[in-house]
Amino acid sequence: MPRHRLALLLACLPLLHACGGSPETLAKEVQSTFEEGDMEGALKLAHFEQMPADLRFFFLDQVRECAAEGTVCTASVTPLDEDFKQSLARLADQGLESPYTAEGLILLQSREADGKSSGKMQMPYAKVDGKYRLVAQRYTAAKLTELRATTNQQLLEQMLAAGIYDSAAGERRTDWKDSATALPADGGEPGQHLVRSSAALHAAVLANDPDAAVKSGDGFAAMVLADKDYEGKPVPRAERQAKLRTQSARFLHDVKVEGGWLRGQEAILLVNARDGVDWTARGAVFLSRDEQGAWNIAGKQLVSYPQ
């Protein structure tokens, strides 16, 4: 993912904070840990309370990208700026709160050695138990209550109201379900495939086996974890394992299907599952069948929260 997109996504997600004897020491530790691709070390520099799966993915994936060949990352201490303060206000409107008051920012800048791309990520820091650390914002109690109270039927209605893209018509349609056929309680063929492939993918994650992940039946995993890149060049196994580690935060497992609908080569399932940080993840999942006959997740309308 281009780093300028990463920075924009992070601005819309819960924020981060830091560890060390001083902010400058923390910045040095962040830089060395990220450059080494040490994901466990990076997490130790942080104090994350109730960290959502998407934020965990973006944080660890930046560690992975900084360690990639041809990428240079530097970290420095910068003061809180007005844009960042305004982003805090926007996040508060989304039901997020800061358990600690940010004292400043660790600015992580990255660039490709060939100069083709660059980006930055701002990570607020604060003192936690006497140490400077990186810390994530968390959902407020009211927001968690709201998420838990949202039903799968409401999430389905949200997905349908947003529209399902019709490639033949070249537009989004809100009447997708009107011409769909109800599936049995287990979701029929697409539901069975989702349960089977998600279980195989989770087993591959636990085994740190990207080859097994590619063979799991999950189309996204097969694409991003392939043993060759888009130019046909071999991808080292260690790089694939690092990507499997970061992407695993976004994979569903322990999936239970509660019915759904079928329309041609498309299906919508209602599911209850767990995500990569073991939060409850449930709602509506949109699948499409590819030319090989495999069902792949093409969209989600989910809520997630700690169990």
Query: What residues have CB less than 8 Å from 279, skipping those under 6 apart?
Result: 52, 53, 304, 305, 306, 307
Are residues 129 and 269 part of one domain? no
CA 160 to chain centre: 23
Matching residue, tokens 């041609």: 264
Instruction: Give pLDDT, residue 287.
Output: 98
Are residues 105 and 160 part of one domain? no
Neighbouring C-beta atoms of residue 234, cutoff 10 Å: 9
Distance of alpha carbon 117 from alpha carbon 119, whole angstroms:
7
Are residues 96 and 205 part of one domain? no
Are residues 213 and 101 part of one domain? no
Are residues 243 and 217 part of one domain? yes
Domain ends where: 127, 143, 159? 143
Neighbouring C-beta atoms of residue 157, cutoff 10 Å: 14
Query: What residues have CB less than 8 Å from 281, skipping those under 6 apart?
Result: 53, 252, 273, 274, 275, 302, 303, 304
Instruction: Give pLDDT, residue 260.
Output: 98
Strands 131-135 and 138-139: unpaired
Q: Pick from 144, 127, 139, 107: which is nearest to 47 by CA?
A: 127
Are residues 188 and 100 part of one domain? no
Instruction: Give pLDDT, residue 50.
Output: 84
Report whether 26 contacts 20 (CB < 8 A).
Answer: yes
What is the pTM assigned to this prediction? 0.87
Neighbouring C-beta atoms of residue 85, cutoff 10 Å: 10
Question: How many domains does one find in the chain?
Answer: 2
Are residues 267 and 164 part of one domain? yes
Are residues 77 and 132 part of one domain? yes
Distance of alpha carbon 178 from alpha carbon 169, whole angstroms:
16
Instruction: Give pLDDT, residue 12.
Output: 41
Give the domain extent around 8: 3-143
Instruction: Give pLDDT, residue 15.
Output: 43
Instruction: Give pLDDT, residue 85.
Output: 85
CATH number at residue 294: 3.10.450
Instruction: Give pLDDT, residue 187.
Output: 98
Are residues 227 and 121 part of one domain? no
Domain ends where: 112, 143, 174? 143
Are residues 166 and 69 part of one domain? no
Are residues 65 and 14 part of one domain? yes
Report whether 141 contacts 102 (CB < 8 A).
Answer: no
- In tens digits, the chain (307 residues) has pLDDT values of 444 444 444 444 444 444 448 999 999 999 999 999 999 999 999 998 788 899 899 999 999 999 998 999 999 999 998 988 888 889 899 999 888 999 999 999 999 877 777 899 999 999 999 999 998 788 999 999 999 999 999 999 999 999 999 888 889 999 999 999 999 999 999 999 999 999 999 999 999 999 999 999 999 999 999 999 999 999 999 999 999 999 999 999 999 999 999 999 999 999 999 999 999 999 999 999 998 889 999 999 999 999 8
Element (H, E) at 11: helix 3-11
Helix, strand, coil percentages for the chain (3-state, nearest 5): 40, 30, 30
Burial of 271 (0-12, 13-18, 19+ CB in 10 A): buried
Are residues 62 and 25 part of one domain? yes
Domain ends where: 143, 169, 185? 143
